[in-house]
Chains A and B, each alone.
Chain A
């Protein structure tokens, strides 16, 4: 987000240079021309340098639009049209006497593609940071045209303008500028689409403004689509008026989607109807008064609720066709939401792609996990990520609960983790015990290895269905089952060091395994001989390890040794 940082610097620069930058005093038109980033030569607003669009936008920020509105629109219209067309601006800039920094900046700009606004932005802002060169940009004066109908519906320009949405974090910063500007009937242009919409709404101007609003909105939405979760979280983190409008834009997007999907609330329809009309009459009233804001808020709330209910296609890509009718709402709603409480924005944080039915188009776009903040929950980026994390963890704990035997009644993560740990430990000890067993009873392997191999592989393949036991085993040794079980249980009850769960698990494991103990008498005998040696050796060499190893895992033979 170096752009954001640059914008910050740029903004500071602008503020600092407000006074020296204020060329508006002498004469409006030259000042306006000058303010056009010096891209427009004096008296020649049409000759605009291309590639300086970023600078132009910057210059248009809070500065340009308020006064000389009669002159500006035309200039701006021509300006923007030229901006997108003209290539070389260095000469024009020089003629305007642009500060030293800018020519280099502007010269660098043509090299950058219009679309690669970001790249052009950095050198520009870096140049702007040069005090001398920053003269173009005047945030102090909120000069905004009454009607930006002259704005070309240029997708490139709109994209760039919409990229300002990345700077919504600075909305709070801009809010300071907004206040003085509002008095002039204009607001901060720098807030990208949202700001422009505010501007338009603030002016309460003609319907033609909506075109630009819509276009900006489109680009805005495009940008918001391309932006990941952190962007949304940026919005949520920003609590100022600057942050909320953009937040609301996004939420409005969703609301609009909901509406486009088929939401048919009365409030929605009324809002739609309002906006679909020229709306000029409604906008000013709505914009100026809080009552309108409340109405919109209510409509927004209802939209949001319905949105959450329907919750179908949330892909922002699908917003495109729905924009004309909906984008008009944005400007007024954005205005209002700036005044409204933040609770209205807590209902939605971003488009929720996960767990939605139709996600055919989502995966290719989705690089981040989109989360929706629930009602009444904080929309802080950290809390959202935390919530996602917690949900993941609890989901996995549920799976583990199914896997570990005897954990269905357990509630709570800590106890559950305890059980899991014990289970894993018991499994590991069982593996060690079985490997010890296999190490000691190996001699028999030499004889019937192939038979064993074939049998075991076959049995292991059959295993999943028969729990790994051949069918004849339980039938042949039913009496041994009970005796063996009793023996084992008795031995295990003597285990003082094992945890209860371990004992239980071993019991549960051994109980089905008793079917496997075909030769119960032989086993302890084998074990006793070997284990005597082993245990004595272990006691002789190392103090407790072997006893610990075999502690919970060995059956009666070891127990007998211990009890002696």
Chain B
């Protein structure tokens, strides 16, 4: 039925993502300088962790998907422009998200919002946008699951 066979690949995506993410987490943790962390430091670390999650997920998916390619390109561009810039961009993005959510009109309007959400969605037609959204949702849920379990493990120990 569904030519997009996610079930056999999601496990491998999951494992790949897990490995990469854990490695990134380790690296980030090693960068901790002192135990009492300032909020700024925490914020920065949060951003790094988030970035690591995105990068590891995108690279786990590889170049097969347009959204992963777009995400990697965006990240590389963000790295070039500086990490602080990403913070402001993120804030702006959040604000824009709030504003745009009230403007959803119909299918086309919703599709526009969806394009903003899914990385690389602006350059797609609706049909492939839905495809990418499907895969993106799957990967996001996988990501959430893995991170939850990691967090639980960390919290527990």
Contacts and interface: CB of A to CB of B under 8 A. Distances in A.
Nearest to A441: B154
A441 B39 contact: no
A526 B155 contact: yes
Contact of A534 (B2, B11, B39, B94): B39
B34 to A, nearest CB: 11
A533 B134 CA distance: 37
Per CB-CB distance, the 9 closest pairs between chain A and chain B, nearest first, are A417-B110, A537-B39, A396-B130, A439-B46, A434-B147, A435-B50, A435-B49, A427-B140, A516-B152
B155 A522 contact: yes
B144 A441 contact: no
Contacts of B106: 414
B124 interface: no
Interface in B23-37: 25-26, 28-30, 32, 35, 37
Given A403-B134, A414-B110, A431 B143 contact: yes
B49 A468 contact: no
B123 interface: no
Given A403-B137, A424-B133, A431-B143, A457 B153 contact: no
Contacts of B110: 414, 417-418, 420-421
Contacts of A437: 151, 155
Interface in A445-489: 445-449, 452-453, 455-457, 459-461, 463-464, 467-469
Contacts of B138: 403
A343 interface: no
Given A418-B104, A447-B157, A396 B131 contact: yes
Contacts of A530: 42
A459 B118 CA distance: 28
B157 to A, nearest CB: 5
B57 to A, nearest CB: 9
A548 B98 contact: yes
A101 to B, nearest CB: 46
Contact of A548 (B43, B94, B136, B149): B94
A526 B154 CA distance: 12
Nearest to A432: B50
Interface in A389-436: 389, 392-393, 396-397, 399-400, 403-404, 413-414, 417-418, 420-421, 423-425, 427-428, 430-432, 434-436
Nearest to B32: A442
Interface string A528-557: 001001101110001001101100000000
A389 B129 CA distance: 13
Q: Which of B39, B42, B106 has the most CB of A within 10 A?
A: B39
Q: Which of B2, B48, B110 has the most CB of A within 10 A?
A: B110
19 contacts: A403-B138, A404-B137, A417-B107, A417-B111, A420-B110, A423-B137, A428-B117, A431-B54, A438-B154, A443-B29, A444-B157, A445-B29, A448-B157, A453-B22, A457-B18, A463-B145, A464-B14, A534-B43, A549-B94
B63 interface: no
A355 B81 CA distance: 49
A383 interface: no
Contact of B22 (A399, A435, A456): A456
Q: Which of A389, A399, A522 has the most CB of B within 10 A?
A: A399
Given A423-B137, A546-B43, 17 more contacts: A389-B127, A417-B110, A420-B114, A421-B113, A427-B144, A434-B53, A434-B151, A438-B154, A452-B22, A456-B146, A457-B19, A460-B11, A460-B15, A522-B155, A533-B42, A538-B39, A548-B98
A119 interface: no
A440 interface: yes
Nearest to B126: A393
Nearest to B6: A403
Given A427-B137, A441-B155, A434 B144 contact: yes
A545 B91 contact: yes
Contact of A468 (B95, B148, B155): B148
A460 B146 contact: yes
B91 A542 contact: yes
Contacts of B90: 545
Given A435-B53, A442-B32, A463-B145, A396 B140 contact: no
Nearest to B46: A439
Contacts of B83: none
Contacts of B95: 545, 548
Nearest to B145: A468
B97 interface: yes
Interface in B89-106: 90-91, 94-95, 97-98, 101, 104, 106
Contact of A518 (B42, B144, B155): B155
A430 B148 CA distance: 9
Given A414-B107, A460-B15, A439 B127 contact: no
Nearest to A470: B149
Contacts of A400: 130, 133-134, 137
A449 B26 contact: yes
B120 to A, nearest CB: 14
B79 interface: no
Contacts of A413: 107
Given A414-B110, A468-B146, A534-B39, A441 B151 contact: yes
B82 to A, nearest CB: 17
A392 B144 contact: no
Nearest to A468: B145
Contacts of B45: 439-440, 442
Contacts of A518: 152, 155-156
A509 B147 contact: no
B67 to A, nearest CB: 11
B130 A435 contact: no
A440 B35 CA distance: 11
Contacts of A516: 148-149, 151-152
A420 B130 CA distance: 10
